[in-house]
Each structure stands twice: as C-alpha cells, then as structure tokens.
Amino acid sequence: MLFSSLGLSEEIVRAVTERGYDNPTPIQQQAIPVVLQGGDLMAGAQTGTGKTAGFVLPILHRLSDKSVKGPSEGRPPIRALILTPTRELAAQVEESVREYGKYLKLSSMVMFGGVNINPQITRLRSRVDILVATPGRLLDHVQQGSLDLSKVQILVLDEADRMLDMGFIRDIKKVLALLPKQRQNLLFSATFSDEIKELAEGILKNPKLVEVARRNATADTIAQKVLPVDRERKRELLAHLIKEKQWFQVLVFTRTKHGANRLSDQLNKDGISAMAIHGNKSQSARTRALKEFKSGELQVLVATDIAARGIDISELPHVVNFELPNVPEDYVHRIGRTGRAGANGEAVSLVCIDEQKLLKDIERLIKRELPKEIVPGFAPDPRIKAEPIRMREPREGDGNRGPRGGQPGRSGQSGRPGQPGQGKPRQPGGATGGRPGGSTANRSSRPGSGSGQRKPGNASAGKPATHRSGGRNH
Ligand code: AMP
C-alpha cells in the first residue's frame, strides 16, 4: 500500500516520501482513513509502530483541507491539541508535525514545563494551528489567561495509558472542560486497562477501534532474554556485556532516579560513557543527554521508566532492564524502545533472586516464558537469599545503599502517609503506593509541569486501588 492511496494530500505524501517512508505501517493504514473521515478513534499501538504519523498526517490533511470549513477571518485559532505525558514525547511529536507539514502553511508549537514560560506566552501571540503539550504546563497557561482552547477541533491523547500512570487524569479532565463539545477525539494507548476504557468511554463518541500489537504483547521483532545474576554483580555484568559485545546506544532502565545516577557514575568509572535522565534533571540536561545518545557520542543512557517514555530513537539496538520494573506493563513499554518500525532489537533483563516474583508477573502478562541464559562467570550464587525490593527513592540520610535496602516496599508501607493513591496494591502481588516516586523531590518535578503547584498524587480521583501513584519517578 502507498501513502498516496490513503487520501492524503500531495504535499503530505511528498514530505513523508522525503522522510524515507515507502509504505504506511499497519497502524497508519488503519488509523489514517478513520481520522480523515472525521471520526473518533481508539488506537492500541505502542511506540515504534509509527503511531505518531498515524495521527499527525491526517490531522495535517484535515487542517489544511480548503474544502473543510475553517476560521473565516483574523488569526486562525488553535485547532488541534495533542496531549502527551512527557516533555520528550511532546518535543518529538511536534518535530514530526513540522517535518510532515513542511509543505503546508500550518504552524505548530510545543509546550512543556521545566522551561521558562515567557517565551511560550510570546509564541502564543502568533499563529498556532497545532499545539503539542504536556498537561501541567498547558494548565499553567490557561491559568495565566495566555491560552484559548475554545476553537479546538481535534484532540489527541497520545500514550493515554502513561498519562493515567503519571497522575494526569484530573489535568486531562480540566483540559477537556475547556474544549468545545463538538470535536474529533483520538486516543492512543499501548495497553487497554479498565481505566483507559473508562477514560475512552467518557471522551470518545462511536469510536473506531484499531489495534496493531496484540494486547499487552511485546513486539515480535524484539529478542528478549533474561540473564540471571546476583544483585551485587549486575553492574559488573552490564559493563562486561557492553565491552565484550561492543554494544552502542544502550538504553538501561533502573527503578529509581538514585539508582540511575549511581549506575551511570559507575559505568563512567568503568570507562563506558553514560548519562542518566530522570525527572530531577533539568530539561536542558535531559535534552543534551538525548541528543548525545542519538548521535552516538554517548554509549549508554540510564533512564527511569517515565523519563524514557516516548524516546524515539530509530533502530535502538539494545535495551537493558538493569532492574525489572515494579509494574509488569512497564516491561512492555520499556522494551518498546527497541525493534522499532520493523528494525530488530534486543532486550535483556538482568534478574537477581529478589526479582523472581516481578519476572513471573511479567511472563504472565506477556503470556510467554522468557528464555534464561547464564553468562559464563556470572552464575548466581545459590547461597544468596532473596531480599525485599526497595520501591522508593532513598531519603536524605538513608546513605548510599542503592535501590534496595531493607525497606519493605511491597505492600505500600513505604508510601508517604496520607498520600492519595498509595497504600493499596495496584494489583494482586503487584507494586504499590511504595513505587519509586514517593519522594518529595518528585513532587516538585512533575513531568510536563515544572511548576510543582498541583499535587502529583491527585490522580486517582477516588480510585486509589487501581491507580499508580501520580508522584512516581520519571
Ligand atoms: P512512532 O511509533 O510514531 O514513535 O514511530 C516509530 C518510528 O517509526 C519513528 O522513528 C518513525 O520515524 C518511524 N516510522 C513512522 N512511520 C514509518 C513508515 N511508514 N515507514 C518507516 N518508518 C516509519
């Protein structure tokens, strides 16, 4: 199938062809016609499937289509709003808008927190057709009166599952209240939890459902492996693998920001160039790390789950789970960074005895047993006993004990007292309010806001049992 056969304008097809795409991906084949027709859409697609172009291309077409009634006089208002969970994803989506729309007379803007608001206010005084934003900063603008969303015709919730995970549900509802009732709604999500279905029911009207990956399945192009290893030897094994196999562009996941910092420091000491990205890093540090990683200057990027969300690096060859995620769905998201759009990738998980339960939960979710392979010289010592996994960032004064350290985090006991969304297991045996991110530091560095004004833990809105703490790390 060709892009031209989907009904997209010549200008858009030209831009896509110049980008080097020959054929639309499955999600694009399914989503583009639905969006072009003006209908609502619920799309199940994870990063790497080409979902961004799946909504950006038809939106560009619709907004530039002269036969569709647009604003008659004056400066055109914001007509498409794309909400994303993270700053990085917002920046990438807006970059796509600009690239695919380069032959059109449409103007786009990206808006996220963590940076000075004033240039954004100035930018809003000129034409913006398509706004890509994270919810927190968007609401900051609404509060300041610098943003008018009353003429939005198309709303996209990108990576809606992550937005819920990150505690944005209230913010999303506030934004919805500012939009015209009559509009087109597109919801993209990698997983279809009950919460997502509930959100979709409240927003979408007679949506077409398109789904490309199997529900909660991991992409088939990704080779997945578990390497059993002792907890204290993980760093040594990682350095060994990177050096021995000459890995480059390795995205490594840790559970906590503290763990990410520690690991990147240790890798640098081992002579491997590494940087950590997470929510406590300034936006400029995050952008710089990502740029160097993409260009190949930086060998290893160590990230927490939320920071890594939406990172788009084509053909990322290696993803390493230095620690398994507390929530099994995060495994699917993590390894979705590799094997993108048809390229092959490899995801390895370094699993110690403490993580056996987390591994089982993941295998149950993806409905397959992951192959285990012992790296010579790194066979786990059978005398080592399992210890509880620490699920939160260490507090000041905890010392440098690393990501575990005698805190019983499994049953919500490590959560901050009284913090909404905490204290109950999210799922049987799963992670709890004691997830990383309960620390005070997180509260002032919510992704997409930068203001720290709203409560990150406000998301559960009466459903704390099924919700991850909004204050999780990123
Ligand atoms: P996404 O799922 O939107 O994050 O896209 C994943 C990657 O696939 C990005 O690097 C895109 O540039 C790339 N991509 C998107 N559409 C196509 C296509 N039709 N053919 C080849 N690559 C694509």
2 C-alpha vs ligand 1 centroid, how far in Å?
Answer: 15
Q: Which long-range contacts (CB under 8 A, 24 or more apart) does 101-107 make?
A: 101/12, 101/15, 101/56, 101/60, 101/64, 101/130, 102/15, 103/11, 103/12, 103/14, 103/15, 104/9, 104/11, 104/12, 104/60, 104/64, 105/64, 106/60, 106/63, 106/64, 106/130
Q: What is the pLDDT of residue 317?
A: 80
Ligand 1 centroid from CA 95, angstroms = 13
Q: Are residues 212 and 231 in the same domain?
A: no
On the question of pLDDT at 405 being above 70, the answer is no
Token reading at 305? 């789950």
Task: Using the mean position of ligand 1's atoms as its centre, give its distance from the Cα of residue 18 in Å.
Answer: 13
Flag whether 303 is in a domain. Answer: yes
Q: What spacing in Å lies between the alpha carbon of 364 and ligand 1's midpoint? A: 29
Instruction: Return the pLDDT at 213.
Output: 58
Q: Place 315 in a pLDDT band, splitting at 50, 70 and 90.
A: low
Among 366, 394, 424, which residue terminates a domain? 366
Residue closest by Cα to atom 19 of ligand 1: 24
Q: Considering the domain boundaries, does residue 248 fall inside one?
A: yes
Question: Which of 53-57, 178-182, 438-442 is predicted with the least confidence, judged by mean pLDDT?
Answer: 438-442
Q: Which structural domain range is residue 26 located in?
A: 3-216+414-440
Band of residue 404 on the pLDDT scale cut at 50, 70, 90: very low
Q: Is residue 453 part of a domain?
A: no
For residues 226 and 212, membership in a common domain is answered with: no
Using the atom order of ligand 1, give the atom closest to the CA of residue 54: 3
Domain annotation covers residue 196:
yes
- Same domain, residue pair 126 and 64: yes
Rounded to an integer, the average pLDDT of 76-88 is: 93
Helical spans, DSSP H, in 178-296: 194-203, 234-244, 257-269, 283-295
If one compares 151 and 450, the residue with the highest pLDDT of the two is 151
Report helix angle 135-144 to 169-177, nearest 10. 40
**Same domain flag for 45 and 166:** yes
Residue 391 located in a structural domain: no
**Judgement on whether residues 111 and 10 belong to the same structural domain of the protein:** yes
pLDDT average, residue stretch 101-130:
95
Q: Name the more confident of 207 and 329.
A: 207
Q: Which of these, 172, 198, 180, 321, lies nearest to 260 by C-alpha position?
A: 321
209 with 275, same domain: the answer is: no
In contact, 392 and 437? CB cutoff 8 Å = yes
Mean pLDDT, the chain, rounded, equals: 79
How many structural domains does the chain have? 2
Determine the pLDDT at residue 70: 54
Instruction: Judge whether 408 lies within some domain.
Output: no
Regarding whether 337 and 317 lie in a shared domain, the answer is yes
The answer on 229 and 96 residing in a single domain is no
**55 and 188 within one domain:** yes
52 lines ligand 1 (CB under 6 A): yes
pLDDT of residue 278: 81
Ligand 1 center to residue 340 CA distance, Å? 7
Q: Is residue 314 lining ligand 1, measured as CB closer than 6 Å? A: yes
Helical (H) or strand (E) element with 184: strand 184-189
In a domain, 402, yes or no: no
Which pTM was predicted? Answer: 0.59
CB of 25 within 6 A of ligand 1: the answer is yes
What residue's CA is closest to ligand 1, atom 10? Answer: 314
Q: Is 231 exposed, middle or buried (0-12, 13-18, 19+ CB in 10 A)?
A: buried
If asked whether residues 63 and 204 sit together in one domain, one would say yes
168: CATH: 3.40.50.300
pLDDT for residue 190: 85
| Span 240-275, pLDDT tens digits | 999 998 888 899 999 998 999 999 999 999 999 999
Q: For residue 377, is it within any domain?
A: no
Q: What is the per-residue pLDDT for 466? A: 31
* Residue scoring higher pLDDT (403 or 235): 235
The predicted structure's pLDDT at residue 465:
30
Same-domain status, 324 and 246: yes
- 453, pLDDT greater than 50: no
Which among 334, 339, 374, 353 has a CA at the least distance from the CA of 240? Answer: 374
Domain boundary among 305, 331, 366: 366
**Is the pLDDT score of 409 beyond 60?**
no
Q: Are residues 116 and 237 in the same domain?
A: no
> Does residue 344's CB lie within 6 angstroms of at least one atom of ligand 1?
no
Least confident of 47-56, 190-199, 218-227, 315-324: 218-227
